[in-house]
Amino acid sequence: MFVYFSKRLLGAIPVLVVVAGIVFALMQFAPGDAVSMLISDEASEADKARIREAWGLHRPPVVQFLNFLAKAAQGDFGMSFRYREPVMEIVLARLPATVELAMAATLVAVLVGIPLGVLAGARPGSIWDSLASTFSFAGISMPNFWMGILLILLFAGHWHILPSGGREPWGLGLDRITGFLLLDALLQGRGDAFAAALKHLALPAIVLGTNMMGIITQLTRASVQEALHEDFVMTARAKGLSAARVLWRHAFRNALIGVVTIIGLEFGALLSGAMIVETVFAWPGIGSLLVQGISSRDYPLIIGLVLVYTTIFILVNLLIDLAYTIIDPRIRIR
Q: How many CA atoms lie within 13 A of 200 on its CB side?
A: 23
* CB of residue 9 to another protein, shortest distance in Å: 14
User: How many Cβ atoms sit within 10 Å of the Cβ of residue 34?
Assistant: 17
Q: Is 18 one of the binding residues for another protein (CB under 8 A)?
A: yes
- Scanning residues 97 to 126, which ones bind another protein (CB under 8 A)? 124-125
Three-class SS state of 86: strand
Could you count the other beta carbons within 10 Å of the beta carbon of residue 334?
5
The answer to whether residues 285 and 95 touch, using CB atoms and an 8 Å cutoff, is yes
User: Which CB atom, from 269 or from 319, has the smaller least distance to another protein?
Assistant: 269
Identify which of residues 35 and 181 has a Cβ nearer to another protein in the complex. 35
Q: Which residues pair with 79 in a beta bridge?
A: 86
Nearest distance in Å: CB 40, another protein = 23
Q: Give Cα separations from 195 to 191, 221, 299, 302 (angstroms).
A: 6, 34, 38, 34
Question: What is the C-alpha to C-alpha distance for residues 223 and 257, in angstroms, rounded to an integer?
Answer: 9
Q: Does 180 bind another protein (CB under 8 A)?
A: no
- Looking only at residues 238 through 297 of this chain, which bind another protein when binding is defined by CB under 8 A? 268-269, 271-272, 275-276, 279-280, 290-291, 294-295
Kindly indicate which of the ranges 39-47, 106-114, 143-151, 195-203 contains the residues binding another protein, using the contact rule CB under 8 A.
143-151
In angstroms, the CA 70 to CA 81 distance is 20
The answer to whether residue 137 forms part of the interface with another protein (CB under 8 A) is yes
- Alpha-carbon dihedral sign for residues 191, 197, 200, 205: negative
Minimum distance from CB of 94 to another protein (Å)?
17
| Cβ atoms of 217 and 116 closer than 8 Å | yes
Q: Three-state SS for 79? A: strand
Q: What's the closest the beta carbon of residue 101 comes to another protein, in angstroms?
A: 15
Q: In the complex with another protein, which residue's Cβ is closer, 160 or 334?
A: 160
- Span of 90-98, 146-154, 171-179, 201-209 interacting with another protein by CB under 8 A: 146-154
The answer to whether the CB of 300 falls within 8 A of the CB of 87 is: yes
Measured from the CB atom, the residue of 11 and 191 that comes closer to another protein is 11
Classify residue 28 by its DSSP letter.
T
Chain positions contacting another protein, by CB under 8 A: 15-16, 18-19, 22-23, 26-27, 29-31, 124-125, 133, 137-138, 140-143, 145-147, 149-150, 152-153, 157, 268-269, 271-272, 275-276, 279-280, 290-291, 294-295, 302, 306, 309-310, 313-314
